Amino acid sequence: MIENGTEKAYFAGGCFWGVEYWLRRFDSVLSVQSGYMGGTLENPSYGEVSTGTTGHAETVEVVFYPKRLSYRDLAKRFFEIHDPTVLNRQGPDTGEQYRSVIFYTTKEQKHTIEELIGILRDRGYKVVTKVVPAGNFYPAEDYHQDYYEKSGGTPYCHTPVRRFSEE
């Protein structure tokens, strides 16, 4: 859904710190916020989500300008900054809260994601990324926001890997 010239996208691919770090690098991204989505517990805390029993995944909410950055390019980047073939894990982080999932907000987003997954599968990738409708997004605690910018570190379990060539 586009509001005030912006669109929202929701991606979960392991620790939200790394996903936030890499998606924030696009010039046409207005904001990236770490949080939780996909579970049943309202207003979950990091401690609760970390138990792996809430159904939530560590998720980032991306607000971007679709006239300058297509959802397709944003989703392609997501598939290139995490391993979409690993179930419930990224790097050393293990559990359902670290699963690969894209929460779509429109039919167009869903179609784009399914098309990209089809391209990856045609290239031999055994993609496990789930594609589900977006639900309530719960922002994570303040200390999780802009984590790498605040700490001066870099992602430990998200390394970009080129999976798409020019189509």
The residues that are catalytic are 15
Question: Which three-class secondary structure state does DSSP give residue 32?
Answer: strand
Query: Under a CB-based contact definition with an 8 Å cutoff, are residues 11 and 5 in contact?
Result: no
Q: How far is CA 55 from CA 34, 50, 89, in A?
A: 16, 10, 14
CA atoms within 13 A on the CB side of 16: 31
Q: Return d(Cα 135, Cα 29) in angstroms, integer.
A: 21
Q: Return d(Cα 107, Cα 58) in angstroms, integer.
A: 23
Q: Return d(Cα 28, Cα 24) in angstroms, integer.
A: 9
Q: Classify burial at 16, counting beta carbons within 10 Å of its beta carbon; exposed 0-12, middle 13-18, buried 19 or more.
A: buried
Query: Under a CB-based contact definition with an 8 Å cutoff, are residues 102 and 78 in contact?
Result: yes
